[in-house]
Structure 1
Amino acid sequence: MTLGDYLKQQRTEQTLSQAELAEKMGVEQSYLSKLEAERSLPSAEILTAWLTALELELDDVLAHLDRAYLHAKLARIPSIDAWLRQQKVQSLVRERIRLYAAVLCIAVAVPMFYLGYTKLLFDESIYEYESPGVVLPGEPQDIFALAPQLQNGSLSERHQAHVDILKRRDPKIRLLQDYRGAQFSQAIPEAPNDGFTRTYYLEKTHQRARWPNTLLQALGLFIGTAGAVLLMALLRKPKR
């Protein structure tokens, strides 16, 4: 569609005759006929009068016309040439923004995927600690492990002491996400005083999948793919 065709269509939709529109523009009807048939190109002043008479904006009109046609036929009109230059600048700015966005996506996606894959941010280790029983006030924290070496007296006395320790055994297991060393002691809140404790020993280390790591990997993969696709599209885009 040409400029003349489009503005003629707008005149028709506004139910204006050529004579009426020509009068509003301040030109001869024959000249307006040439403009609509594009046998003559308007000057910047005539184009402004034409658009004003139809109550149209230049941006809205040119947006409906093919860009190649504008460059080939109408670029000699200063206002249209300025519009084309402005559109080119805006296009370059948008392209630069898309390029930065693509690079940013890739830059964010790589460490995001790496953190999820290596579990550096959200450790998946579960530490299993076991306490053999309650340590009484004044006893060594590792009384259950050292009991055989701490006993004195006859064989029967040592045997009885060993049996007593076995009777006191009350194993308790705790699964923790934070590592507390090979062993740690903890007071028993429900005990009558602070002298009653439990000593927990590290028995095993388990691995348990955590959804934040899976989410980081999925987001990293998605964002990285989107950035790569956008970057490839920009690189393949023909230069104008």
Structure 2
Amino acid sequence: MMKFGDYLRQAREARHWTQPEAAARAGIEQSYLSKLETGKSYPSDDVFGRLVKAYEIDVKNLVRDLDPGEAEALRDIESLRATRLTLHRTAQRLSRGWMLAGLACLVIGGGSTGAALTASDTSHEEYIYLSRGVIAPGEPFDVFDLVGVPLGRAPAVVADMRAQQIALQDRIDEEVRIQRAMQGEGYFETVEGGRRYFRALDSQTVIERSPLRWFWVPGLMFLFGALGCFTISWRWK
């Protein structure tokens, strides 16, 4: 913030004008310009218009830079008064706009945060079943268990079991089923070439996180946004 006289002096010096030269361009006396620059006098409406034209002053920037007390001293100048009123109304509209934006962010942020706070997780049991391969017609449901059976000592029995184990190993095609409904110790399913036996292997508890927990992120963002909007609205005012 600055005084009107300082503003005139800086504007003149920025153009590298002497006081006599600046006074001549504005069509006023040098002594009068000197009083204006030292704050001993204030211009009339007509003189202010001359200074604005000579110095190419942006009245809006002048109003923004002037000390409030100086602006009050220049209240009789019509163009300054009109500009101050326009800027004031513009600032009010912007301030109200930022205030409304802040309120909207506050409502959205509060709602999102509330949803995140009240969110609850759910859980359910899952049952894991394993089928080791396709059981041919006429074979027992546990035929593939033979693969893990230790071999006996009799050479003939060992050779026969070894041959069966090798044949079964080539047919092993494991398939895992995870489902919510429990099917007891096991269940059959007809497939091409025979059937599969799915034996209960394990169970697990699955916790499903509520998607509302993600509302923490937008909730906090909107709340901080509301704080920023209110700050801007206050500063603009």
User: TM-score with structure 1 length normalisation?
Assistant: 0.62
Aligned equivalent of 1:29: 30
Aligned equivalent of 1:89: 89
Aligned equivalent of 2:176: 172
Aligned equivalent of 1:74: 74
- Secondary structure (helix, strand or coil) at the match of 1:16 reads coil
CA contact (8 A) 2:130 2:176 kept: yes
* Structure 1 unmatched runs, 5+: 138-160, 175-179
1:11-160 equivalences under 5 Å are 11-70=12-71, 72-119=72-119, 125=123, 128-131=126-129, 133=131
CA contact (8 A) 1:4 1:38 kept: yes
CA distance in structure 1 between the partners assigned to 2:141 and 2:63 by the alignment: 94
CA contact (8 A) 1:109 1:220 kept: yes
Deviations 1:205-235 (A, max 9, x none): 421558x76543143134225425755x689
CA distance in structure 2 between the partners assigned to 1:45 and 1:94 by the alignment: 32
Letter of the structure 2 residue corresponding to residue 46 of structure 1:
V
Letter of the structure 1 residue corresponding to residue 223 of structure 2:
G
Evaluate the alpha carbon distance shift between residue 225 and residue 172 of structure 1 in structure 2; reply closer, same or farther with a 3 A threshold. same
Number of equivalenced pairs = 202
CA contact (8 A) 1:131 1:173 kept: yes
CA distance in structure 2 between the partners assigned to 1:32 and 1:197 by the alignment: 106
Evaluate the alpha carbon distance shift between residue 7 and residue 199 of structure 1 in structure 2; reply closer, same or farther with a 3 A threshold. farther
Deviations 1:114-160 (A, max 9, x none): 4444558xx775762433548989xxxxxxxxxxxxxxxxxxxxxxx
Structure 1, 74-83 or 221-230: larger mean CA deviation: 221-230
Aligned-pair CA distance for 1:11: 0.9
Structure 1, 35-44 or 72-81: larger mean CA deviation: 35-44
Aligned equivalent of 1:149: none
CA RMSD of aligned residues (A): 4.5
- Secondary structure (helix, strand or coil) at the match of 1:84 reads helix
* Structure 2 unmatched runs, 5+: 146-173
Deviations 1:57-77 (A, max 9, x none): 11222322223431x211221
Aligned equivalent of 1:152: none
Evaluate the alpha carbon distance shift between residue 101 and residue 118 of structure 1 in structure 2; reply closer, same or farther with a 3 A threshold. same
Evaluate the alpha carbon distance shift between residue 234 and residue 118 of structure 1 in structure 2; reply closer, same or farther with a 3 A threshold. same
Deviations 1:39-61 (A, max 9, x none): 33223332122122122211222
CA distance in structure 2 between the partners assigned to 1:59 and 1:6 by the alignment: 13
Evaluate the alpha carbon distance shift between residue 104 and residue 54 of structure 1 in structure 2; reply closer, same or farther with a 3 A threshold. same
CA contact (8 A) 2:133 2:144 kept: no
Identity %: 22
Letter of the structure 1 residue corresponding to residue 140 of structure 2:
D
